Structure 1
Amino acid sequence: MADDEHHLQESPVESVLENLVEKIHRHDSSSSSSSDSDDDKKSPLSPSMKNKVFRLFGREKPVYKVLGGGKPADVLLWRNKKISGGILGTATAVWILFELMEYHLLALVCHFLIVALAVLFLWSNATMFINKSPPRIPEFYIPEEPVVQVASALTIEINRAFSILREIASGRDLKKFLSVIAGLWVLSIVGSWCNFLTLFYIAFVLLHTVPVMYEKYEDQVDAFSEKAWIEIKKQYAVFDAKVLSKFPRGPLKDKKV
C-alpha cells in the first residue's frame, strides 16, 4: 500500500516533466523546420541576386574577355610585366624624345639610317680585312600577312565608326546625339590644351593603367558607379521633363481614319 501511495504521489510530477520534454522537442523540431524552410526560400534568391550585380557599362564578361583576350589583353592587364613595362617604357621614351627634347621624326629616321649604314659598312670592311671574304648582311623585309591583317582590321573599325555616325546623324536617338556632341566638345577642349602626340601618349598610358586597376578594385568601382549612375538618371529625368520633352521627336505622321 505504501508503494502504491508513493507511486500516486510521484505520477503528477513525472507527467509534468514529460510534458515539458515534449514541448521542448516540438519547439526544436519546429525551429529546425522553419530554419530549413527559410534556407530553402533564400537559396533560389541567391543566383538572382548575383545576376543583379551592377557592372560598369553593363558588361557581362570579365575584363579580360572585354579587351578581346589573347596577347593584347595580356599586355594591357600586365599578365607579362616585362612585355607591358617594355612597351610602356618605349612609348614614354618616344614621347620624351619628340615632345620634351623637340626632336623631329624625319631627323630621327635619317640619323637612324646614318648610324645603321655606318655600322654595317665598318663591319663588312673589318670582316673582309680579317677573313678575306665578303660578309653576308642579313636581309630585312616586312611580311605581307600581318600588314594585310592590320589594314583589314582598321578598315572594319573605320567603316563601323562611319555607320555609327550616320545613325547618330539620322536624328532617331536624341540622347545619343547629345552625348556624342558633348563628348566631342570635351575632346576638343582637351585637344586645345596639348598637341596630338601628348594626347595620344596620355590615352596610351590610361589604356595600360586603367584596365588593370579596374580589374584589381572591380567591386568597389562598380558599387560607386552604380550610385553615380542612379544619380545621373535622376538628373537626366529632370532635364528630360523640363527641356527635352519640349522638342519634337520626329516628323508627324498622318492619322489614320
Structure 2
Amino acid sequence: MADHAGDGDDHKSAAESIIDKITEKFHGSSSESEDEKDLKSAASAVKAKIYRLFGREKPVHKALGGGKPADIFLWRDKKITAGVLGFVTAIWVLFELLEYHLLTLVCHVLILVLALIFLWSNASIYIKKSPPKIPEVVIPEDVFLGVASALRIELNRAFAILHDIASDRDLKKFLGVIAGLWILSTLGSCFNFLTLFYICFVLLHTIPVLYEKYERQVDAFCEKAEIEIKKQFAVFDAKVLSKIPRGPLKDKKLA
C-alpha cells in the first residue's frame, strides 16, 4: 500500500511539474507578445516621426495609384515604359524638330494606310490565295464615354480647388498657388505647349524612379529645405504680411 501511495505521489509531482512548465511557457509567450507589441508601437512611432516628402505614408508605388500606370512610371516593366517613351519622343521629334504639322501627318498616315489596304485587298488577282479579311476599326462607345467622364471629373475637381482657394482667406495657400501659376506662365513663355508637355512626360517617367532609389537622401534634403523655407516665410510674415492693414472680418460677417 505504501508503494502504491508513493507511486501516486510521484505521478502527482510529475503532473504538477508539467503544469508548471506549461504555465511558464504560457506566461513567457504572453510576455513575448507584449514585448512584440511594444516594439511594434515603438517602430510605428519612429516611422511617424520620420519625414516623408509631401507627408506621404504609403510606398511610392501605391502613392502613384498602383497597378500598370505605377509599374510604367517606376520602370517595373521596362519594355512597355521604353515603348511609351519612344512613341512620345517620336511624336515630339516629328512636330517640334522636323516641324511636321498635325493635319499633314494625319493625311500622310491615312494615305499610307489606305494604299496598303487597297493593295492588300486586291492582291488576290496576282496571288492564288485570297488575302485575309481586314478587320474594321470601331471606337467602343464605353471607352470614349469613360475618357470623357474622367476628363470632366478632373476638370470639375480643378475648378472646385481654384474656387476654394479664391474664396478662402488662407493667404499662404493663395500665395503658393499664385507663385505656381507664375512659374508655369514663365515656363510657357520659354517653351511651346508640346515641348512643355514632353518635358513633363519625361520627368514623370524619371523623377519617381530616381526618388524611389534615393528616397532617404531626398527626404533628408527636403526636410532641411522645408525648415529653411518656414524660417524665411516667418521672417517675411513678421516684416511684411503682418504690417498689411486688414479690415474687421468678424464684423462684416455678423453684418
Q: TM-score, normalised by structure 2?
A: 0.79
Deviations 1:78-137 (A, max 9, x none): 110000000001111111111000001100000001111111111111124434868632
Structure 2 counterpart of 1:61: 58
CA distance in 1, matches of 2:249, 2:240: 20
Structure 2 counterpart of 1:200: 197
How many residues are paired up? 217
Structure 2 counterpart of 1:190: 187
Structure 2 counterpart of 1:172: 169
CA distance 1:250–1:208, change in 2 (3 Å): farther
Name the SS of the counterpart of 1:136 in structure 2.
coil
Aligned to 1:214, which of 197, 203, 211?
Answer: 211
CA distance 1:236–1:132, change in 2 (3 Å): closer
Conserved in 2, the CA contact under 8 Å of 1:128 and 1:135?
no
Q: Which runs of 5+ in 2 are unaligned?
A: 1-34
Structure 2 counterpart of 1:148: 145
CA distance 1:242–1:173, change in 2 (3 Å): same
AA of the residue aligned to 1:122 = L
Conserved in 2, the CA contact under 8 Å of 1:75 and 1:84?
yes
Conserved in 2, the CA contact under 8 Å of 1:127 and 1:135?
no
Deviations 1:162-192 (A, max 9, x none): 0111111114111111111111111111111
Name the SS of the counterpart of 1:60 in structure 2.
coil
Conserved in 2, the CA contact under 8 Å of 1:191 and 1:199?
yes
Task: Tell me if 1:254 matches 2:251.
Answer: yes
Deviations 1:131-164 (A, max 9, x none): 4868632111111222222211111111010011
CA distance in 2, matches of 1:92, 1:129: 40
CA distance in 1, matches of 2:178, 2:153: 23
RMSD: 2.3
CA distance in 1, matches of 2:247, 2:65: 38
- Equivalences for residues 1-257 of structure 1 within 5 A: 45-131=42-128, 136-248=133-245, 251-254=248-251
The higher radius of gyration belongs to 1
CA distance in 1, matches of 2:77, 2:131: 41
Q: Which runs of 5+ in 1 are unaligned?
A: 1-38
Q: TM-score, normalised by structure 1?
A: 0.78
Name the SS of the counterpart of 1:79 in structure 2.
coil
Percent identity of equivalent pairs: 71
CA distance in 2, matches of 1:194, 1:152: 30
Name the SS of the counterpart of 2:206 in structure 1.
helix
Deviations 1:212-234 (A, max 9, x none): 11011111100110011110111
